[in-house]
Amino acid sequence: MTTFDQILPSIRGVLHAQLENLKKLERLVINRDLNGRVRLVVDEKVFDNTEARAALDAIVCALAECLGSHSFPAERMVLFESDVLAVMQGAPNFNLEGFSNVTVVDRLAAETDWATIAPIATGARRTVFFSIKGGVGRSTALAAGAWSLAQVGKRVLVLDIDLESPGISCSLLPNERRPTYGIADWLVEDLVDNGASVFEDMIATSDFSHDGEIYVVPAHGRDPGEYVAKLGRVWMPKIGADGSRQSWSKRLNRLLDDLEKRWQPDVILIDSRAGIDEIASACITDLGAHTVLLFAMNSEQTWSGYRILFRHWRRTRAVSDIRERLQLIGSMIPEVGGVEYFNDLRENAWNVFAEELYDEVPAGELIGDYFSFDETDQTAPHYPLPIRWHRGFAALQSIHSHLQIIDFSEVTSIFGHLPLIEENVYV
């Protein structure tokens, strides 16, 4: 019996065997619906074309037999459309591997698909802090990064988009400085065209910036209010008066653009959610990130999570749009046995990156002509920028108070080159 993972390989098998028939169709769209059931969409001209129709029927029969529960019955499998390309609009789609004229349209219950990568934003550099597992020191590193950048005179905008488990605002703002509103408030107000009434009161400046300035936009305001009720609505797309539809992540992007215009930061740091999650997808793929920092502890779960994600990017042909923006971070390198730990981490990272993200270099060709790196290449995306485990940061009640007493050399000794990554000093 065919299961979900066999759908695409099975279709490829059938189409390889039916190549001559496929040529008679010009273009074939495979629609995989919300239940994982397959239908074909073809041009309505095929309907009256005897030769093309016979070719299509042969493909349909073979697919119905092969896909079992994962296809519509043969007599209901085909939709004839006057504009086949219109079927793909607004839905994740990608070319079926090995077939330039076959497109898979993948209907997902989630809004984001991890595979449509927005171009890099043209204004201030946007850096996303992401990890597969939670609790790896993402928010702490972001706070230290913001602090360091402010120390060298930068205006830093920090967004807490870890809406379901907010954290960074507590790290950077003492309670009395928190603003009245947060990102969740804006997302809810925007649905009823009322975003402007919270826009000016959703940002606060951190008090430990010296020469620069740190602007913090929290997930919620000082009083979270009906946060759960708001959180249940932030995901809503906005339907305009003209019927146009803007997904929640596009709305978030609009907010970010407006905040950038209003506060004119030099750099933007974004605390994403952990895991293969809808918010994380929006942060990584939809916000025009220049750099995506992938935090990793050396565990089986971390690598299998990154492998799933990278493989998805490869399958959906998104890989070349995203891989140059990635940088691995080795988080909380232990005090004892740190060198061995780091080497092991680097080796595991290289295995995953080399197998899933890097180009294969054909024998006899130069590695420099391809997106491919040696394991020991320190400029490679897989080569971890280390963050040391440090007792001063372990189980802190408040990073905010700790950052007020720390100095630059201590931050650099723990967080290495990471804090200044935005300045492109080291990377």
Q: How far is CA 8 from CA 11, 71, 78, 84, 142, in A?
A: 5, 12, 17, 20, 40
The verdict on 367 binding ligand ATP (CB under 6 A) reads no
Q: Which among 352, 162, 188 is positioned nearest to 275, based on CA atoms? A: 162
Q: Which stretch binds ligand ATP (CB under 6 A): 55-63, 103-111, 160-168, 214-222?
A: 160-168
CB of residue 345 to ligand ATP, shortest distance in Å: 15
> How many Å from the N-terminal Cα to the C-terminal Cα in the chain?
50
Token pair recorded at residue 95: 């070319």
Tell me the angle at which helices 50-67 and 7-17 cross, rounded to the nearest 10 degrees.
Answer: 140
Q: Which among 233, 252, 266, 226 is positioned nearest to 160, based on CA atoms? A: 252
Write the Ramachandran bin of 135: left for phi over 0, alpha for psi from -120 to 50, otherwise beta.
left
Which position among 332, 349, 357, 385 is part of the footprint of ligand ATP (CB under 6 A)? 332
Q: Which stretch binds Mg ion (CB under 5 A): 134-142, 203-211, 363-371, 390-398?
A: 134-142
CB 215 within 8 A of CB 204: yes
Site for ligand ATP in 379-398 (CB under 6 A): 387, 389-390, 393-396
Which position among 21, 93, 139, 327 is part of the footprint of Mg ion (CB under 5 A)? 139
Site string for ligand ATP, 43-72 (x = CB under 6 A): ------------------------------
Token pair recorded at residue 343: 């080497």
Which position among 10, 127, 139, 249 is part of the footprint of ligand ATP (CB under 6 A)? 139
The verdict on 167 binding Mg ion (CB under 5 A) reads yes
Rounded CA separation 137/130 (Å): 10
Tokens 């080159």 — which residue?
417
* Residue 274 site contact among ligand ATP, Mg ion, none (CB < 5 to 8 Å, cut-off depends on kind): ligand ATP
CB of residue 138 to ligand ATP, shortest distance in Å: 3
Which position among 414, 418, 420, 421 is part of the footprint of ligand ATP (CB under 6 A)? 414
Site for Mg ion in 351-410 (CB under 5 A): none
- Cα–Cα–Cα angle for 382, 385, 388, nearest 5°? 135
Which position among 21, 31, 71, 140 is part of the footprint of ligand ATP (CB under 6 A)? 140
Residues of the shown chain interacting with ligand ATP in the complex, contacts defined by CB under 6 A = 131, 134-140, 162, 165, 167, 274, 332, 387, 389-390, 393-396, 414
